[in-house]
Structures are given as structure tokens and as C-alpha cells.
Chains A and B, each alone.
Chain A
Amino acid sequence: MFRVVYMAIACAAVAAAQDKVTVPLSNPSQPVTVKVHLISGSITVTGGGAAGQIAVESGSRTGRRPPRDVPDGMHRIDMPVGLNIDEDHNVVTISAGGNAMGSSVTLQVPTNVSLELKSISGGKIEVTGVNGDLDVDNTNGSIELTGVSGSVIAASQNGSVTVSMTRITPNKPMSFTSLNGKIDVTLPADTKAHLRLKTDNGAVYSDFDVKLDPAAAKPVVEDARNQGGKYRIRMDHSVYGNINGGGPEYRFETLNGNILIHKK
């Protein structure tokens, strides 16, 4: 039997509406996946927590944004984010109800955990010290993964993507993409990868020895004329290159921003 601990923190003032929940894992010795899906808000995940459980804490949903239209002489009452959490066979799913503006969710997880973190607006997604398959998607905010290992798929639209990896899972493709943000990725020096690089209004910088592979960037010709179709040339504006002799494809792509690939 797992013991479930619940605490609610009562602070002074009208603020401090919080949920604090410890989620027990069905089978701590097996792989664990944690999914957090927010419409609006920041997500912070820190590894190195106690085995067999995920500690979840949510801040109030008034957040940083100062409330508008406050009636004279009144103050706003903070509302809790209103988390829904469930755990099923080591898959923990966390979501927040409503349009909880400016909410924040903080997790303390065991080091070996795979993550799927998604938010649309209202904050940053930060992960520190986690080893696993990390799938992070933040439409309007930045992504910061520090001291992580395993494999990463990180996608933002309007924020920067900053990742530093201590170890990587070999032979697994990875992806670091944004539209209007900078991509800044630090990889171990011995990383073997086939890089696919693309930025429309930026530059690519690296201290890896990148062996460019122009052959991979050839346009693709699709000829369907003999079946009544079209003749089409698909131009791929990406640049390809190998580091340490090549390996799985690592995609780095942004429209308006630089791409930095650091060697650790």
C-alpha cells in the first residue's frame, strides 16, 4: 500500500491558493512517464526526487499578470490552478482545468523518468536533472532543459529552446525547433549524429567539427507524369552535416533566430 500525503500551504494574505499532491507510482522499478498538459502556465520539473513517487505542486492562477479592472478598494482573491491528476501503470497525467491564466505547476520526480510536457502560453518550461525520453512543447514560451540525458524533442513557436545534455541515448533521433526563437544546444563531445540544420533569418554556430554533407541536401524530384500527375522538385533548404562520423538525425530548425550547437 502506498501512503498518499496531501498538504495545503496556508500563507498570509488572500493569496496562496495551492494544490500539493504526492502521487504514488504503481511499480517504481519499471519505466515511468509523466505527462503535463496546460493551456496556460509554466511547468518546472526537477529530477533526483524520492523513488516511487511524483510530488506535484501548483501555484495560484493569478500569476504574474496584474489583474485588470479591480473594483475600487478591493483586492483579488487567488484561485487554485485546479489540477486533475491520475496515475495508471506508471503513467502520470496532470492537467489543469479552465483557462487558468498564469498558473504554475512544479514537479519533483525520480531521475529516471520520461516526460511529455505541453503548454500553450503563459510561461516557461524548465527541466533539470532528468534522464529519459523528453518531449517538450511550449507554443509561446521558452524551453530550458538543463543537465538532462536521454533523448530530446523540444519544440517552441515563439520562444527560445535551450538544452544542455550530459549523456545521450545512442541511435535515437532528436529534434530542437522553434519559429521565432534561438536554438542553443549543448551535446557531449563524443556525440555521433547526422545534423539537419535550417534557419531562414539567422546563422548556425558550432564548435563541433561538422563535416558538411552536400549530397544529403539534393532536391527531391517527384515525377508522376506517367500516371497523369505532376513533375515536382522539392527544395530542401536545410544544410546537412555529420559530427563524429554521423549517426541518427538531429534536427535543428528555426525561422528567425540563430542556432548554436556547443560541444561539452
Chain B
Amino acid sequence: MKQLIIPIAVGVFAIAAHRDYKLEEREAFHHTFSNDSTLDVDAVSGSINVVGDGGNTIRVDGEKVIRAADQEEVQRAKREVVLDINEKNGIAQLYVNGPFRDNDHTSENHGFHDHRDREYEVAYNFTIHVPRATELTLRTINGDESVQDTTGKFNVKGLNGKIAMTNIAGSGTADTLNGSTVITFRENPKADCFFKSFNGKVDVGFQPNLSANVSVKTFNGAPYTDFDATALASTPDPGELKNGKFVFKSNRSSNLRIGSGGPELKFETFNGNIQIRKLSR
């Protein structure tokens, strides 16, 4: 039920973000973190692009794009929407902060609350180079997320945007609502993974020697694979007695084994197709 409610709320957000503003201001910035093992980006609008390389530090190249109705609103946007750059316990954090975050009044901005409609929008576009093994926690609401050549754990969440991860290793979650989730592994995951898109397709490519337990779930989509797969027994669910009533609810997933089994890889869509692809070496 929760999933059905989200798109409605998002629709409102997306409409608000599509206004034609006359003024545009771009402001580039650069930041290098000292020595962190995890990158944590929490953005609202704009793209996140992460590239793994042979460097030792996390290097952020960013651009703040302000679109506003007039100069006063540009200044307001500059004042109200800021990028918080934090570092703690080995985590390099980029957090886009602004009045839209203050729903629970936890920010420091406890003075006068400006309730005029915001006649501006702010997007942050990030290109972040990281050491390959960096662990990633990425999320945004309106924008695409891409990752290349990393080997660490990942947790990538989107809402109105696609997720593209190319030539990666490691394991984790990639989950978006209105966009595709497309991933290629240069080294197969050694731990459990979850790949999901609600309205888009999920397309994940693995090395030919994949050995995993796969669980596939979709409502309107069709799942495909070119791996040889063996159907597994569903998780035994005998049904249960609730207040004297017998109740059985199928978990609606199809369980397969590829190779000799291994980590659990879950694929889920509501409306899109699922492809589990064998990459040619």
C-alpha cells in the first residue's frame, strides 16, 4: 500500500520542479575529503555520478544550479539551500539541506518560517571520484544516479530517476521508483543483493561463472534470463491459523538456482521487465 501512495506525492513534487524559471545561476565547487572509506550522498534534485579510480581520496566536483523567477528568489535560494559537507567515522557525507528538509523541525533554522511559495529550484550535480573499494550510500529524489568501476558495498536509492552501475564489483541494493535499474558486474557479487525498480526495468549483467540463488518477483512485467537456471522450491509456507481462520498468501516470487547456488540475489519490479544477463567476457 505504501508503494502505491508514494507516486502520487512524487507527482506533485515533479510538477513543482518543472516550472520555467527565467534566471539561471551555476556555481561550481570542489571538495576533497581526507581519508574516508564510505561516501554518503543525500541529494534532492540533480544527478550523482560516481567513478572509481586508483586515487586515495574522495574528490567531489559539483555544480549548484539555481533557477529562479527573479533575482530576489536567486538570493533566497542561495541562502536557503546549502550543501552540508561532513566527515565522521570514515564517512564522507554530502547532504543537500534546505527548507524542504525541515518537516520535523530538526534543523537549526528555528527562527521565522518563511511560508511564501518558493519561486526557485536548486539542483546539485555531482561527479565524485573515489578509491575503487569505497562503500557507497547514494540517494536522490529527482535525478539519475550512475556508478562506474567501484568494488565496494553499495546502497543506491532513487525515486524519479534511473540507476546505472557499470563494471562494478561488490554487493548491495539498487532501488528506484520511476526509472530503470541497469547494472553490469565485472566481478560477481559475493553477498546478497537487491535490485528493484517499481515502474522501470531491471537489467543486470553478471559474469558467466555466476553462482547464486535468485529470487524474481514482478506484477506486470516479464522476467528473462540467458543463464541456465534450475527452479527451486519456494520457501515453505504452510499457511497459518489466524483467529481460527486458515490463511495462505503466496509470496509470488519465483526462486531459481544459477550455477551451484550462493548469495541471494533478489530482483523485483512492478511494471517493468527483468533481465538477468550473462555478459560475454
Residues in A lying within 8 Å of B, measured CB to CB: 4-6, 8-19, 21, 23-24, 26, 58, 67, 69-71, 73-88, 97-99
Given the contacts A10-B232, A11-B231, A84 and B248 also touching, CB distance less than 8 Å = yes
Given the contacts A76-B224, A79-B223, A84 and B250 also touching, CB distance less than 8 Å = yes
Evaluate contact between B238 and A83: CB separation under 8 angstroms: no
Q: Which of B225, B233, B248 has the most CB of A within 10 A?
A: B248
Q: How far is the CB of A23 from chain B (nearest CB, A)?
A: 6
Evaluate contact between A85 and B236: CB separation under 8 angstroms: no
Which of A9, A10, A77 sits near B223, CB closer than 8 Å? A77
Which of B230, B248, B253 sits near A80, CB closer than 8 Å? B253
Evaluate contact between A23 and B220: CB separation under 8 angstroms: no
Which of A11, A76, A86 sits near B247, CB closer than 8 Å? A86
Counting contact residues on chain B (CB < 8 A from A), the size range is: 35 or more
Give the distance in Å from the alpha carbon of A16 to the alpha carbon of B277 in the complex.
Answer: 21
Evaluate contact between B229 and A14: CB separation under 8 angstroms: yes
Given the contacts A67-B222, A71-B224, A75-B226, A86 and B236 also touching, CB distance less than 8 Å = no
Q: Which residues of B from 223 to 267 have beta carbons under 8 Å from A?
A: 223-226, 229-234, 236-239, 244-250, 252-254, 256
Evaluate contact between B232 and A73: CB separation under 8 angstroms: no
Smallest CB gap from A8: residue in B: B233
Give the distance in Å from the alpha carbon of A84 to the alpha carbon of B238 in the complex.
Answer: 12
Q: How far is the CB of A180 from chain B (nearest CB, A)?
A: 29
Interface status of B21 (Cβ within 8 A of chain A): no
Residues of B within 8 A of A71 (CB): 224, 275
Interface status of B171 (Cβ within 8 A of chain A): no
Smallest CB gap from A14: residue in B: B229
Evaluate contact between A6 and B252: CB separation under 8 angstroms: no
Give the distance in Å from the alpha carbon of A133 to the alpha carbon of B236 in the complex.
Answer: 34
**Can you show 26 pairs from A to B with CB atoms below 8 A apart?**
A8-B234, A10-B232, A13-B231, A14-B229, A16-B231, A17-B231, A17-B254, A23-B246, A24-B246, A26-B244, A70-B224, A74-B224, A74-B226, A77-B223, A77-B254, A77-B274, A78-B254, A79-B252, A80-B253, A82-B250, A84-B249, A86-B248, A87-B245, A97-B219, A98-B252, A99-B220
Interface status of B58 (Cβ within 8 A of chain A): no
Smallest CB gap from B270: residue in A: A98
Which of B218, B245, B248, B276 sits near A79, CB closer than 8 Å? B218
Residues in B lying within 8 Å of A, measured CB to CB: 216-220, 222-226, 229-234, 236-239, 244-250, 252-254, 256, 274-277
Overall SS of chain B's interface = strand
Give the distance in Å from the alpha carbon of A18 to the alpha carbon of B236 in the complex.
Answer: 12
Residues of A within 8 A of B218 (CB): 79
Smallest CB gap from A1: residue in B: B241
Evaluate contact between B236 and A19: CB separation under 8 angstroms: no
Give the distance in Å from the alpha carbon of A154 to the alpha carbon of B238 in the complex.
Answer: 33
Q: Which of B220, B222, B238, B244 has the most CB of A within 10 A?
A: B222
Residues of B within 8 A of A75 (CB): 224-226
Q: How far is the CB of B216 from chain A (nearest CB, A)?
A: 6
Q: How far is the CB of B266 from chain A (nearest CB, A)?
A: 13
Residues of A within 8 A of B254 (CB): 17, 77-80
Evaluate contact between A80 and B224: CB separation under 8 angstroms: no
Give the distance in Å from the alpha carbon of A70 to the alpha carbon of B226 in the complex.
Answer: 11
Q: How far is the CB of A93 from chain B (nearest CB, A)?
A: 10
Give the distance in Å from the alpha carbon of A176 to the alpha carbon of B219 in the complex.
Answer: 35
Residues of B within 8 A of A82 (CB): 250, 252
Residues of A within 8 A of B250 (CB): 19, 58, 80-84, 97
Smallest CB gap from B217: residue in A: A79
Residues of A within 8 A of B245 (CB): 86-88
Smallest CB gap from A56: residue in B: B248
Evaluate contact between A85 and B247: CB separation under 8 angstroms: yes
Evaluate contact between B231 and A76: CB separation under 8 angstroms: no
Give the distance in Å from the alpha carbon of A131 to the alpha carbon of B277 in the complex.
Answer: 51
Give the distance in Å from the alpha carbon of A15 to the alpha carbon of B225 in the complex.
Answer: 12
Give the distance in Å from the alpha carbon of A150 to the alpha carbon of B247 in the complex.
Answer: 29
Given the contacts A14-B231, A98-B219, A6 and B224 also touching, CB distance less than 8 Å = no
Give the distance in Å from the alpha carbon of A67 to the alpha carbon of B239 in the complex.
Answer: 31
Residues of A within 8 A of B232 (CB): 10
Evaluate contact between A76 and B239: CB separation under 8 angstroms: no
